[in-house]
């Protein structure tokens, strides 16, 4: 009987009840969508970083990361690459010769990261070849050919077949220079890579650096990202002379972002629910104050405090239980549609996102467990929001309430 009364009381003022329910619906829709947006953006950044930049793990000489001195290369690196590539857990592996130096064209000069690669192996690890938008990707037989990023090409006014000169220090500390022809220009979602990285054949750069054909970096892409920690431990024991680092160690800011995501999202959603709870409390308090005479009459004819509390409580719960599933359903439909077609922000945030390594097209994603968590938090919020209006009703004096005009 109490539930029936509470249900009917909701619809006595349909406009007010609908406003509360729509507010809850839109609040949950917005909260769930923002959660999905952030999850999608960060997961996408992780996938891009692993698939196109740092891979799952890398090996270096223990002293190379200190100041990127080219003399600290990996000994017997070819055998190391072959052994790692033979592991069934490894999808692809690529060795790289690295050095920082000056890049000069006929019109300007700038600093850059020079990367000597095996074109075929590098393409399997980072899909670099698919990003070439002008000219062609490197071939293993190319001699003194280079591919550069679009931003760098614009900065140095480079075109296909333009000549550039690379200047840097070799393993002995001597200044060396090499002339290269631009064979291809690539685009990247990460403006830092597009403006700073230049790729040449491994043999060309190794000859200039005098690294005896060895590499400074071995990037490893695995089939199963869940096995990275275990494989890093295995490689560390197997090759004690090499520094083996997972993607979390190579990009600590990304690792921190992933590890802290759940906590940040809970805090964010609690803030949204608190805002909703104030709206619910305000509406229910108005309902109680408008029905003072009616509540006084109910108390006078024998409705005890428990039943009165229950009536206000169930009115609040019913409104939330109607609005919350509809809000989450709307959020699910929105997120599902955008997870397929994507949210294109390239017209607004392309440059800003590129500066931080994010793609401008975001594919929101929210796992099912988060819908259950949100629903649980909403029910808890509704229960808490119903307490104060109900207590206000209990404090009414029946005699004074009946006399109230």
**How far is residue 263's CA from residue 13's CA, in Å, rounded to a whole number?**
39
Judge if 270 and 351 occupy the same domain: yes
Q: Give the per-residue pLDDT at 8.
A: 72
Judge if 297 and 198 occupy the same domain: no
Domain containing residue 76 = 55-250
CB 115 within 8 A of CB 148: no
Strand partners, 343: 362
CB 256 within 8 A of CB 34: no
Segment 372-400 mean pLDDT: 74
CB 358 within 8 A of CB 44: yes
Judge if 265 and 243 occupy the same domain: no
Does 17 have pLDDT greater than 90?
no
Alpha-carbon dihedral sign for residues 134, 137, 138, 141: negative
pLDDT per residue as tens digits for the range 220-237: 999 998 899 999 999 999
pLDDT-based confidence at 371, cuts 50/70/90?
A: confident
pLDDT-based confidence at 291, cuts 50/70/90?
A: low
Q: Give the per-residue pLDDT at 297.
A: 67
pLDDT per residue as tens digits for the range 32-49: 888 888 888 888 888 888
Nearest residue to 155 (alpha-carbon basis) of 208, 210, 189, 112: 112
Q: How do 145-149 and 175-186 pair as beta strands? A: parallel
**How far is residue 289's CA from residue 387's CA, in Å, rounded to a whole number?**
15
Judge if 26 and 62 occupy the same domain: no
- Give CA 374 to chain center in angstroms: 20
Nearest residue to 29 (alpha-carbon basis) of 338, 361, 260, 286: 338
Phi first, then psi, for residue 188 (nearest 5°) are -140, 145
- Give CA 165 to chain center in angstroms: 38
CB 37 within 8 A of CB 261: no
Nearest residue to 167 (alpha-carbon basis) of 153, 178, 180, 155: 178
Nearest residue to 21 (alpha-carbon basis) of 276, 275, 268, 291: 276
Domain boundary among 217, 250, 283: 250
Q: Give the per-residue pLDDT at 350.
A: 64
> CA torsion 50→54→57→58, rounded to 10°?
160
Which residues have C-beta within 8 Å of that of residue 309, sequence separation ≥ 6? 390, 391, 393, 394
Of residues 109 and 275, more confidently modeled: 109
Assigned token pair, 239? 């090759």
Judge if 353 and 337 occupy the same domain: yes
Judge if 6 and 143 occupy the same domain: no
CB 140 within 8 A of CB 193: no
Nearest residue to 378 (alpha-carbon basis) of 22, 32, 28, 14: 28
pLDDT-based confidence at 402, cuts 50/70/90?
A: low
Q: Give the per-residue pLDDT at 210.
A: 92
Q: Any alpha helices (H) in 53-147, and if so which ranges?
A: 64-67, 77-85, 119-126
- Tell me the CB-side half-sphere exposure of residue 254, using CA atoms within 13 A: 23
pLDDT-based confidence at 300, cuts 50/70/90?
A: low
Judge if 238 and 262 occupy the same domain: no
Of residues 187 and 263, more confidently modeled: 187
Judge if 126 and 84 occupy the same domain: yes
**How far is residue 21's CA from residue 5's CA, in Å, rounded to a whole number?**
19
Q: Give the per-residue pLDDT at 397.
A: 59
Domain count, the chain: 2
Domain boundary among 250, 279, 311: 250
Judge if 64 and 146 occupy the same domain: yes
Of residues 11 and 88, more confidently modeled: 88
Average pLDDT, the chain: 84
Judge if 108 and 28 occupy the same domain: no
Segment 185-210 mean pLDDT: 91
Of 16-25, 290-299, 312-321, where does mean pLDDT reach its minimum? 290-299
Judge if 72 and 169 occupy the same domain: yes
Neighbours of 82 (CB within 10 A): 10
- How distant, in Å, are the alpha carbons of 296, 307, 381, 405 from that of 302? 10, 10, 30, 21
**How far is residue 345's CA from residue 27's CA, in Å, rounded to a whole number?**
23
The reported pTM is: 0.79
Judge if 267 and 167 occupy the same domain: no
Segment 352-378 mean pLDDT: 80
Q: Give the per-residue pLDDT at 293.
A: 67
Domain boundary among 212, 233, 250: 250
Burial classification of residue 203, based on how many CB atoms lie within 10 Å of its CB (0-12 exposed, 13-18 middle, 19 or more buried): middle
Burial classification of residue 329, based on how many CB atoms lie within 10 Å of its CB (0-12 exposed, 13-18 middle, 19 or more buried): middle
């Amino acid at each position: 009987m109490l539930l029936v009364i509470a249900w009917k009381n909701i619809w006595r003022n349909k406009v007010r009840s609908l406003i509360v329910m729509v507010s809850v619906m839109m609040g949950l829709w917005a909260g769930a969508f923002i959660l999905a947006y952030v999850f999608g953006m960060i997961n996408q950044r992780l996938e891009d970083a692993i698939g196109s930049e740092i891979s799952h793990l890398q090996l270096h000489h223990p002293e190379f990361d200190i100041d990127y001195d080219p003399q600290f290369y990996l000994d017997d690196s070819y055998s190391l690459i072959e052994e790692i590539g033979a592991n069934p857990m490894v999808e692809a592996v690529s060795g790289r010769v690295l050095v920082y130096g000056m890049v000069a064209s006929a019109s300007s000069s700038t600093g850059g990261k020079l990367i000597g690669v095996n074109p075929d192996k590098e393409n399997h690890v980072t899909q670099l070849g698919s990003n070439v938008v002008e000219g062609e990707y490197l071939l293993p037989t190319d001699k003194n050919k280079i591919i550069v990023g679009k931003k760098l090409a614009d900065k140095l006014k480079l075109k296909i077949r333009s000549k550039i000169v690379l200047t840097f220090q070799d393993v002995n500390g001597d200044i060396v220079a090499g002339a290269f022809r631009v064979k291809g220009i690539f685009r990247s979602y990460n403006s830092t890579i597009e403006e700073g990285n230049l790729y040449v054949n491994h043999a060309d750069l190794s000859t200039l650096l005098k690294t005896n054909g060895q590499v400074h970096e071995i990037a490893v892409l695995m089939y199963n990202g869940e096995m990275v920690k275990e494989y890093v431990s295995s490689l560390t024991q197997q090759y004690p002379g090499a520094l083996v680092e997972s993607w979390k160690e190579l990009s600590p800011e990304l690792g921190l972002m992933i590890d802290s995501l759940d906590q940040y999202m809970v805090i964010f959603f609690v803030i949204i629910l608190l805002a909703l709870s104030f709206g619910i409390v305000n509406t229910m308090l108005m309902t109680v104050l408008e029905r003072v005479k009616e509540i006084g009459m109910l108390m006078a004819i024998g409705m005890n405090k428990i039943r009165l509390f229950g009536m206000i409580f169930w009115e609040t719960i019913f409104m939330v239980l109607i609005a919350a599933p509809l809000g989450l359903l709307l959020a699910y439909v929105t997120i599902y549609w955008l997870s397929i077609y994507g949210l294109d922000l390239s017209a607004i945030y392309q440059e800003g996102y590129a500066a931080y390594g994010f793609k401008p097209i975001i594919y929101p994603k929210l796992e099912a467990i988060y819908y259950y968590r949100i629903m649980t938090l909403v029910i808890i919020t509704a229960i808490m929001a119903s307490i104060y209006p109900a207590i206000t009703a209990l404090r009414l004096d029946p005699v004074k309430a009946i006399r109230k005009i």
